[in-house]
Copies of this chain bind each other. A is one copy, B any other.
Amino acid sequence: MRTDEHILEMAQQAASAARAVARLSAETKNLILHQMAQGILQHDESILTANARDLQAAQSAGLSHAMLDRLRLDHPRLEAMAEGLCQVARLPDPVGKELSVVRRPNGLIIRKVRVPLGVVAVIYESRPNVTADAAGLCFKAGNAAILRGGSEATHSNDAIFDAMLAAGRSEGLPNHAIQLVKTTDHEAVHALLQLEQYIDLVIPRGGESLIRAVAEHSKVPVLKHYKGVCHVYVDRAADLDMAVKIVINAKCQRPGVCNAMETLLVHEEIAEVFLPRVADELISQGVELRGDERTCGLVAQAKSATHQDWSEEYLDLILAVAVVGDLEAAIDHIQRYGTHHSDVIVTADDKAAQRFTREVDSATVYINASSRFTDGYEFGMGAEIGISTGKLHARGPCGLEELTTYKYIIQGTGQIRQ
């Protein structure tokens, strides 16, 4: 069978499985999730053997240490994967939740009810744990899932998928409710992205180039974030002790993630006091500073930033720093170079905070807290399928609710329109 025909068949099977998944009770879905977790633990040896094959191939291919680490599985990682499925089972079922109800003068009762999206495709790169995480979240939200992992993790993904599937079926997982694309050719992804009549949402997870390629070619709506160029703006009315703490945390606590700060903006009235102080602290933590002209005038160790630095997602111990004339200039900077992810104002001035939170057009805006909290668990939503920097459908951390839509269910007693 040709790749595009094979993918079409998978998508059609997913669309019909979606009806069966949508019918399952929360109890049944939770039993299946627990069973899938068990399946992973019971097949630990075969999963690790498969993973060893992937690792060997990756080593021969000369993949970087970081890539190898992402690919590597061990017992603790398998246990975390299984525990992830059990955690999803413990989250409340979003399906069927009544979002609003109105009774119209003509007696019609209009209920707006949360329902599954239908079919969700997840396209991801080297981390094999996504196979379990994405399957669990899509399934709990009542969707059929089509998973497509990276070619470097193909044996690991197959083994995890097979273990979950066999276990889930024993508790009533519907046929084709979770499918893994096993062909590794690139054409499969392209074929998937054309099938808007069967697939309701595609979620790319991985580097910016993967996400851009998916967004560029997809006819199916895409839930995505490109990158996180997150800002901390230290206002003239900031508590400077607090500001230092927040800046250090936002930059250094885990620099390689999307909610880490990449650019620091400082109000000119406090720059002379604040910048040398925070710079000392940052440099002592190993951070390289790239400043605008005024920053370099105040901090001798700062290199000169180029225009490119303002848009850079370093994901590393590097920080761009600029002095701004006022709140408006800070907002302008963020609007121009930011990525609508997470941005922070440190200030004791309520008016400044209000203006910042209203005008900075980001999924998450913080007053006096680190940007590092943008995360499903930290928000109390549980596991997330990703963080959306788009504005349509869902914004910020996306968990179970964001994997659903709604419909209007209207109960009448024979009403007709006059």
**What residues of chain A have their CB less than 8 Å away from a CB belonging to chain B?**
19, 22-23, 102, 104, 108, 110, 115, 117-118, 200-201, 221, 239, 242, 245-246, 248-250, 253, 331, 335, 357-359, 361-370, 372-374, 378-380, 390-393, 395-396, 405-417
Q: Which residues in B have their C-beta under 8 angstroms from that of A372?
A: 416-417
Give the nearest-CB partner of A241 in chain B: B414
- B410 adjacent to A367 (CB under 8 Å): yes
B415→A373 contact, CB < 8 A: yes
A333 to B194, CA, bound (A): 23
What's the Cα separation between A335 and B20 when bound, in Å?
14
- Chain B contacts for A102, CB-based, 8 A: 379-380
Are the C-beta atoms of B245 and A411 separated by less than 8 Å?
no
Least CB distance from A17 to B in Å reads: 13
Given A117-B391, A221-B390, A380-B104, do A357 and B409 touch, yes or no (CB 8 Å)?
yes
Interchain CB contact (< 8 A) of A415 among B359, B369, B407: B369
Shortest CB–CB separation between residue A39 and chain B, in angstroms? 28
Contact of A411 among B367, B411, B412, B417 (CB under 8 A): B367
Contact B365 A417 (CB under 8 A): no
Q: List 6 A-B contacts (CB under 8 A).
A: A221-B390, A245-B414, A357-B409, A365-B408, A365-B409, A365-B410
The closest CB in chain B to the CB of A23 belongs to B358
Tell me which of B246, B368, B395, B416 contacts A370 (CB under 8 A).
Answer: B416
Q: Which of B374, B405, B411, B414 is within 8 Å of A395, CB to CB?
A: B405
Contact residues in B for A410 (Cβ distance below 8 Å): 364-367, 369, 373
CB <8 Å contact, B367 and A412:
yes
Contact B239 A414 (CB under 8 A): yes
The answer to whether A108 and B416 touch (CB under 8 A), given A23-B359, A117-B391, A395-B406, is no
B23 touches A416 (CB 8 A): no
When distances are taken between beta carbons in the complex, the residues of chain B under 8 Å from A118 are 361, 391
Question: Copy number of this protein in the oligomer?
Answer: 2
- Inter-chain CA distance A350–B172, complex, in Å, is 26
A396 & B408 in contact (Cβ 8 Å cutoff): yes
Which chain B residues lie closer than 8 Å to A104 at the CB level? 378-380
CA distance A378 to B408 in the complex (A): 13
Known A104-B380, A117-B391, A395-B407; judge A412-B366 contact (CB<8 A): yes
Contact present for A368 and B239 (CB under 8 Å) = no
Residues of B within 8 A of A412 (CB): 366-370
Known: A19-B331, A369-B412. 8 other contacts (CB 8 A): A110-B380, A246-B414, A253-B417, A366-B410, A367-B411, A370-B412, A370-B416, A395-B406
Quick one: which of A117, A378, A416 has the most chain B CB within 10 A? A416
Contacting pair B380 A414 (CB below 8 A): no
A234 to chain B minimum Cβ distance, whole angstroms, is 13
**Residue of B with least CB distance to A200:** B391
- Residues from chain B with a CB closer than 8 A to the CB of A365 are 407-410
Q: Which of B108, B373, B392 contacts A201 (CB 8 A)?
A: B392
- Take A364-B410, A365-B409, A392-B392 as given contacts and tell me if A416 and B246 are in contact as well, using a CB distance cutoff of 8 Å: yes
Partner of A407, one of B23, B362, B369, B413: B362
- Identify the closest chain B residue to A247 (Cβ): B416
In the A-B complex, the 3 residue pairs with the closest CB atoms: A369-B412, A249-B416, A372-B417
